[in-house]
Amino acid sequence: MQTDFNLEGKVALVTGAAKGNGKAIADYLARLGSVVERTDLAPPEGMRGMDVTDEDSVRDGMAAVCRERGRIDILVNNAGIINKALIEDLNLDDWRKLMDVNLTGAAICAKHASRCMKEQKWGRIINISSVQAYISSETYSAYAASKAALSHLTHLWAKELAPWNITVNALCPSYVDTPMMANTIGVWAQKLDCSREQALDHLLAPIPGKRLLKPEELGYWTAVLSTDMGSGLTGANIAVSCGWLLH
């Protein structure tokens, strides 16, 4: 393992880590030596429960990590949900729930993690945004708005926290090969009355790389941003998108 990618002794907290992208990110950081606190709303046994929309839950959870581990070095704001609807069909309850999780939840976590990071004068906050923060896909109103706001907050928090050697960056992935994506492919196959392979081709059509990301790729880029050598990059929204988003 390359020395630059050695996260030995770093304590990472990953939200939404029970499955999918969050699990892959947590696994990758652990392989590089980080002590990983995996949190989720309804976690399996052995994982820390945390409701990112509930400030008491976040405060208590992070206080417990600081008490047990002595520090929080890396926060990965991964917890997120998605719903899609045309604007005339928008359900405001769904809208509010999504904003609570994707946006307010990330802010609550950054609020409490940054306090700990300021004391130790070192920290890494990685927000999991999306290409949907920058492109205009029909039916993505709520999700795209939440991710666009999170990407902009990445700039703002980076400026605020730079004096304490805390970097804040965001990853903006395209479609990732997760169980949620498998379900999306199935929905499109039904909608288009075609095979799953044809539905996948339809979804990949605007992506120059013509492929799904592997969840481990998000783990890799999270690790890059979490190292000591990553300290010169802050306030960036990195498009891990196989060429879909170029900015």
User: Annotated catalytic sites, by residue?
Assistant: 143
Residue 88 makes CB contacts below 8 A (sequence gap 6+) with: none
The amino acid present at 168, given as its one-letter code, is V
Question: Using CA atoms, how far apart are residues 61 and 196, in angstroms rounded to an integer?
Answer: 41
Question: Using CA atoms, how far apart are residues 6 and 1, in angstroms rounded to an integer?
Answer: 7
Question: Using CA atoms, how far apart are residues 163 and 139, in angstroms rounded to an integer?
Answer: 40
